[in-house]
């Protein structure tokens, strides 16, 4: 558990959840790219906004996964690694939120659902042991890399601000996955990897519109 006193760990997890879902996201680093990029047409703005809404929901879900895994982690070292990754994801969340505001768009209305579901998945995975938990991180980040590659291909060419954000996120997600694998993460069964992909498709397909 995250603390020698289980109640304290649960309270800390609840505090992180409320801050992640309902409080404005704050980044420790400047948002990548320049806000003064090329002007976007209305169609381009809508396309970029929908993609960035999906990425915002994905970053919120990633935070929830890490928070759930950290709560149930067995070793302090694994817990610290997960919480450090969550802090990096917090920057990603804030960058996506900033870009949505710049595009005159809103986050997904289902963000509380995405957080709750992902937190539960993270906690359940951690109950299988730290190696399984770290393996889940590595596989999640591998799938996120593919998802970001797809979005980079779909962004309007003139949206250099969103592109800079996603490229920076992609590099850091790869680093998180590599760190988890190096720390002893075990490979997941093919059926689990397939279920992860299907779950991600449900969230990304829904968050694109809602």
**For 14-68, how does the pLDDT look when each residue is reduced to its tens digit (9 = 90+)?**
666 666 666 667 888 899 988 776 789 999 999 999 999 999 998 888 888 888 8
Distance CA 204, CA 148 (A): 12
Residue 6 pLDDT:
58
CA-nearest of 114, 77, 59 to 2 is: 77
The burial class, CB within 10 Å (0-12 / 13-18 / 19+), for 210 is exposed
- pLDDT for 102 beyond 90: yes
Q: Residue 107's pLDDT band (boundaries 50, 70, 90)? A: very high
- Return the domain boundaries, the chain: 6-17+39-207
Tokens of 90: 């917090």
Out of 43-47, 73-77, 103-107, 159-163, pick the least confident: 73-77
Domain 6-17+39-207 part of CATH 1.20.1260.10: yes
Residue 55 pLDDT:
92
| CA 174 vs CA 20, 167, 179, 207: distances in Å | 22, 11, 9, 23
The answer to whether the CB of 123 falls within 8 A of the CB of 159 is no
Residue 73 pLDDT:
84
Residue 13 pLDDT:
65
Location of structure tokens 């990096």: 88
Average pLDDT, the chain: 84
Phi-psi region of 30 (alpha: psi -120 to 50; beta: other; left: phi over 0): beta
Task: Give per-residue pLDDT as tens, 164-177.
Answer: 999 999 998 898 88
């Amino acid at each position: 558990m995250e603390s020698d006193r289980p109640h304290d760990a649960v309270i800390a997890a609840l505090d992180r959840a409320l801050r992640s879902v309902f409080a404005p996201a704050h980044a420790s680093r400047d948002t990548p790219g320049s806000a003064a990029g090329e002007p976007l047409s209305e169609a381009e703005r809508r396309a970029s906004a929908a993609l960035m809404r999906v990425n915002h929901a994905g970053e919120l879900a990633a935070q929830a996964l890490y928070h759930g895994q950290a709560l149930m982690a067995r070793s302090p070292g694994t817990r610290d690694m997960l919480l450090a990754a969550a802090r990096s994801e917090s920057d990603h969340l804030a960058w996506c939120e900033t870009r949505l505001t710049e595009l005159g768009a809103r986050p997904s209305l289902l963000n509380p659902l995405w957080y709750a579901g992902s937190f539960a998945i993270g906690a359940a995975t951690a109950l299988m042991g730290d190696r399984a938990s770290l393996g889940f991180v590595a596989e999640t980040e591998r799938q996120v890399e593919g998802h970001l590659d797809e979005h980079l291909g779909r962004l309007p060419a003139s949206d250099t601000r969103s592109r800079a954000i996603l490229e920076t996120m992609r590099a850091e997600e790869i680093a998180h996955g590599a760190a988890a694998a190096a720390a002893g993460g075990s490979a997941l069964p093919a059926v689990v990897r397939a279920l992860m992909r299907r779950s991600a498709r449900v969230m990304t397909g829904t968050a694109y519109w809602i």
